[in-house]
A and B are shown apart, each in its own frame.
Chain A
């Protein structure tokens, strides 16, 4: 069970990439941003080395890591700036909700509890198997499977929602019991629908959920409030610098504008 041993070194196991500084775009782009680099700490998290007793921690997936945007553009960075808080970024590209929550718990063990945590959770369809996130496929499932099986076909949509609601519930209780102010939301609109359904039936099911619906694509497309950002970060305003749809067909992450809306929704 070598994967169990790695549990204790969670942050190292969760290196986003190699732990070294890595090109900003993947792959590098023929634009000015390709000259930039993600600066990662020894654990592979974006930003300087983690320090004890930070005021704020941001947890999440690649959107929290800030894939495709500068560190100053990341939604959590905007919040920290606005509130004047020191912060650590625990964003992990491709992470599942379970992995994000457990990483936060490990962080608290080593670096102490922050005063406030902001979480931007990914889709519920990412589940953990050993140290890897598995994207659960509920749409295109083969009619026949042969052993050894791929577990991505074993879970129903409801199984995935159950798992992630359970981990989020435990995350909320962890924060409440330890006096950590907690705010969380998700960028996945299908998960938002499940949460809304849940909150309609049981309004107190989640205490710290923040509806971030303001950042949905239609809203952003109509928004004219951030022309200054558009001017300053023109090339990564709408889409991130990891855009390589032309050469490799890789969809980019959202750009600066999207991050701005997420931050504003959290701060409301």
Chain B
């Protein structure tokens, strides 16, 4: 079975001890891609950024490439800033391109192997990333779906965004209940504007879940005039990351945005 080749807890990066550049293996071709030649990336034996995991950590951060810290130094990733402010060590479970479901399933596998942390911070991606047998899929808008589909029907031509939203929200609900029952302090948010709107709509209904949601800045928010000390320290990474993906530069945040997300999580404690 192909799906068994996929480990539930897999950072999908080539483990190494000390190397520059994110080495991402393209699932289809097995091709290794270097995305950032500026920052130093250390991946542990499971392919996650940071040192090897150890049992019973105080804190775990889960999410996608923003949590991995694509394009920024490790100590300026939002989760590193949070851990640093709290004076605790943490494990980073950020997986590039992961969907909400993959992120939560990976976290539960982590808990199974390394025990439950005291707290978990989650920064979720777009809810339009659905998960199929081992690969995430960005679901297009309903109007972008073709009018007709020919066999073999591809999920990307048929699945609508409602499905992605449903899958993401039910999975987050599961995460909330898991953390509550296991005595783990949870704070979660999302960087995606549409996902924020979804959550906001639910919160306005005043129902008793998503109580662990933290309102973080919108990506498009203007962040002028603050954190000038960071601008001086990280002139190349301040506004945007130094990563290059599919020929496009600076597609992830810089250390400034990371600082604001970290502050939102810290303020919500």
Binding site for B on A (CB under 8 A): 1, 3-5, 7-8, 98, 101-102, 105-106, 108-109, 113, 128-130, 141-149, 151, 153-156, 158-159, 161-163, 165-166, 169-170, 172-174, 176-178, 194, 197-198, 201-202, 205
Contacts and interface: CB of A to CB of B under 8 A. Distances in A.
Most A C-beta atoms less than 10 A away, residue of B1, B148, B162: B1
A239 B165 CA distance: 40
B145 A147 contact: yes
Per CB-CB distance, the 9 closest pairs between chain A and chain B, nearest first, are A154-B158, A162-B133, A173-B108, A149-B158, A177-B182, A158-B133, A145-B149, A154-B155, A105-B177
B158 A159 contact: no
B214 interface: no
Interface of B: 1-4, 8, 101, 104-105, 108-109, 111-112, 116, 131-134, 145-155, 157-160, 162-163, 165-166, 169-170, 173-174, 177-178, 180-182, 198, 201-202, 205, 207-209
B108 A170 contact: yes
A162 B134 contact: yes
B10 to A, nearest CB: 13
A1 B205 CA distance: 10
B155 A155 contact: yes
Contacts of A172: 112
Contacts of B174: 101-102, 105, 170
B235 to A, nearest CB: 43
Nearest to A176: B112
Nearest to B146: A147
What is the predominant secondary structure among interface residues of chain B facing chain A?
Answer: helix
Given A146-B147, A147-B149, 18 more contacts: A4-B201, A7-B169, A108-B177, A128-B166, A129-B162, A129-B166, A144-B151, A149-B160, A151-B163, A153-B158, A154-B155, A158-B2, A161-B1, A170-B104, A170-B105, A198-B4, A202-B4, A205-B4
A108 B201 contact: no
Given A128-B166, A128-B170, A174-B181, A1 B101 contact: no
A121 to B, nearest CB: 16
B198 A1 contact: yes
16 contacts: A1-B198, A98-B170, A101-B174, A102-B174, A129-B163, A143-B151, A146-B147, A147-B146, A158-B3, A159-B132, A161-B3, A162-B131, A174-B182, A197-B1, A202-B4, A205-B4
Contacts of A130: 162, 166
Nearest to B6: A162
B111 to A, nearest CB: 6
Most A C-beta atoms less than 10 A away, residue of B153, B165, B178, B205: B153
Contact of A142 (B2, B131, B151): B151
